[in-house]
Copies of this chain bind each other. A is one copy, B any other.
């Protein structure tokens, strides 16, 4: 498997990005990603009980259609908590993209990210769509990936290439993250494109597996967004033998995991105000789920995160308090805590709880002055 640090679209995909005027700063805020041929899709989205309008719409489209053509995405406004107006806006975005691409609206996915509970000026998107579509190109991913950013300091992107038989398959992922990241599904927005020939069921299983060990294992501030969405489009243009199970499924899933985990780690490393990427392993638990619960109790503790920011040796006490808060009976004398150099940018922590043989890994960031600054001054 060859790993590229930039987004390189697979065969048959095009993209574009531009500024349509949603962001007052004039920065790019509208992106279109499309496949020239119909693609199958797998979708994962927030479990937040007040999901944004695009999440509701995508959930309808995945049930209505079997093949998809494009994702229309904007940044600067989340189109969330705007009631019927918001749903209409999401529909207008899908209709607009469908029209310029000559497909049906249910073949389109919609994604929005940015401020919540503020009306999205959808007429700006409608006006920009013809130009956006006219400028679609294979290299246009360079513009598309920038137009989905909000407070992200850097673009999140990765591509992998691997062979199946005598065919080369590409998987390319772009994402935006930063704050408000907590598991129970996902990250903010993540779009994955592949030219693999894979069954609908295979793609769904593969994305579930990959997301569980990547997007569902990261937390920045424990807050769950109303908009979190992962969309994976597969357009079969690699012309490989159909993947469903067995070895080819394992090879594909391994590659997809690589893409998802790399993007997830980038999100944590670029967590709002983050100065550290912390890999936190809880071992010796009775089950993987128990290990994950304990790991998240530590990862979401503000006291743990501020001590990490300070590279403080007082970290031990804060880990102990968090482990105890998770609610499992743990014997103090069996609890073992190890960590690498706290002053480094990447820190690994292992907490052995002495209850069993299972383990889980989560990724988190530190809590810093900059986090407070970004979130107190936003809007």
Chain A positions near chain B (C-beta within 8 angstroms): 47-51, 78, 80-81, 83, 115-118, 179-180, 182, 184, 221-226, 300-303, 306-307, 309-310, 312-314, 316-318, 320-330, 332-333, 335, 367-369, 371-373, 375-379
Cβ A325 vs Cβ B51 within 8 A:
no
- Once A180-B303, A320-B80 are accepted as A-B contacts, the answer to whether A377 and B310 lie under 8 Å apart by CB is yes
A336 to chain B, nearest CB (A): 12
**Quick one: which of B48, B223, B333, B372 contacts A369, CB cutoff 8 A?**
B372
Question: Which B residues are CB-close (under 8 A) to A180?
Answer: 303, 321
Pair B372/A321 contact, Cβ less than 8 Å: no
Whether the Cβ atoms of A335 and B50 lie closer than 8 Å is yes
Distance between A316 CB and nearest chain B CB, rounded to angstroms: 5
Minimum distance in angstroms from A299 CB to a CB of chain B: 12
* Interchain CB contact under 8 A, A302 and B49: no
Asked if A326 contacts B49 (CB within 8 A), the reply is yes
Q: Which residues of B contact A47 (CB under 8 A)?
A: 327
* Chain B residues closer than 8 Å to A306, beta-carbon distance: 371-372, 375-376
Q: Are B50 and A321 in contact (CB under 8 A)?
A: yes
Please measure, in the bound complex, the distance between the C-alpha atom of A376 and the C-alpha atom of B48, giving whole angstroms: 31
Contact across chains for B307 and A50 when beta carbons are under 8 A apart: no
Q: Which residue of B lies closest to A313 (CB)?
A: B379
8 closest A-B pairs by beta carbon, nearest first, are A116-B317, A50-B324, A306-B375, A310-B376, A48-B324, A314-B379, A224-B325, A117-B317
User: Chain B residues with Cβ under 8 A from A116's Cβ?
Assistant: 314, 316-318, 320-321
Q: List the B side residues contacting A49 at CB < 8 Å.
A: 323-330
Q: Across the interface, name the chain B residue whose C-beta is closest to A302.
A: B221
A52 CB → nearest B CB, Å: 10
**Closest approach, in angstroms, between the C-beta of A188 and any C-beta of chain B?**
12
Give the nearest-CB partner of A379 in chain B.
B314
Q: How far does the Cβ of A18 sit from chain B's closest Cβ, in whole Å? A: 26
Q: What residues on B are CB-neighbors of A81 within 8 Å?
A: 316-317, 320, 332, 335
| Complexed CA–CA distance, A238 and B300 (Å) | 48
Cα A50 to Cα B298 with chains together (Å): 14
Kindly list chain B residues whose C-beta atoms are within 8 Å of the C-beta of A309: 372, 376
Question: Could you tell me the distance between the alpha carbons of A324 and B117 in the complex, rounded to whole angstroms?
Answer: 13
Could you list 20 examples of A-B contacts with CB < 8 Å? A49-B326, A49-B327, A50-B321, A50-B323, A50-B332, A81-B316, A83-B332, A116-B320, A117-B316, A117-B317, A221-B302, A221-B303, A222-B301, A307-B376, A310-B375, A313-B379, A314-B379, A367-B372, A371-B372, A372-B372
Contact residues in B for A312 (Cβ distance below 8 Å):
376, 378-379
A303-B375 in contact (CB<8A) = yes
In contact, A302 and B375 (Cβ under 8 angstroms):
yes
Q: Known A224-B324, A316-B116, A325-B48; judge A83-B307 contact (CB<8 A).
A: no
